[in-house]
Amino acid sequence: MPEPRVIEADAPQLPAVRDEASAAKRRGQDARNVSRGTSRRIKHGIYAESEPSVRREIIDEAAILFARCGWLDEVRDGPMVEATARIITRLRRLDAIVDAGETGQVLTSMLSRLEGQLTRNLTALGMTPAASASLGLAHLDGRAKAFEAAQKEQARYAPKRKRAPR
C-alpha cells in the first residue's frame, strides 16, 4: 500500500516550544499588569488607574456624564460611559503633565489620539450637537426650553398678590 503524500499546506504550522513558552509568559505578565492597572507599553503614569483617587475621578466623571444626558441607560451605555470617563480623566492628567513643562512626541501623539477617541465616544453616546440631531435627541432639549419659556410667560401674566395693609 502506498504511503499518503503530505502536502505542505496540510501540514500544521506548530510554533516552536520556546516561542510558545515566551508567548505564554508575555500573556501572563500582561494579565498581571492589567489587573494592577498598569501596562508595559504605556509611559508617564497616564494609565496608572490603580490609585484610589483616579478611580474616584473616573466614577465622578461617569456620574457627570449620566447627569448631563438623561437618555443614557446605565446598563446599556454603562461601559461606553465608563470608557469615556477614563479618557476624560487621562486627558486631564496629560494636560497637567504638559502644563508642567513636559513635552515630547509621545505625549503629543497620546494627547491627539485620546482627543480623537473622546470625540468618537461622545458621538456614539449622542453628546455632540451633530450626533444628538442625527439620533433625534435635539427635540429633548427643545422641549425643555419650550416648557421653561411657557413657565416664564405664565409667571408674567399671573395675578400679582396684593400686600396686606399695615
For residues 15-45, one letter each, b for 16 or more C-beta atoms within 10 angstroms of the residue's C-beta and e for the rest, the string is eeeeeeeeeeeeeeeeeeeeeeeeeeeeeee
Instruction: Show me where the domains of the chain are located.
Output: 25-130+137-157
pLDDT of residue 143: 66
> Which pLDDT tens digits describe the chain residue by residue (166 residues)?
556 554 555 445 554 445 666 666 666 666 555 555 554 444 444 455 556 667 888 999 999 998 888 888 888 889 999 999 999 999 998 888 888 887 788 888 899 999 999 999 999 998 888 887 777 766 666 667 677 778 888 887 877 777 766 6
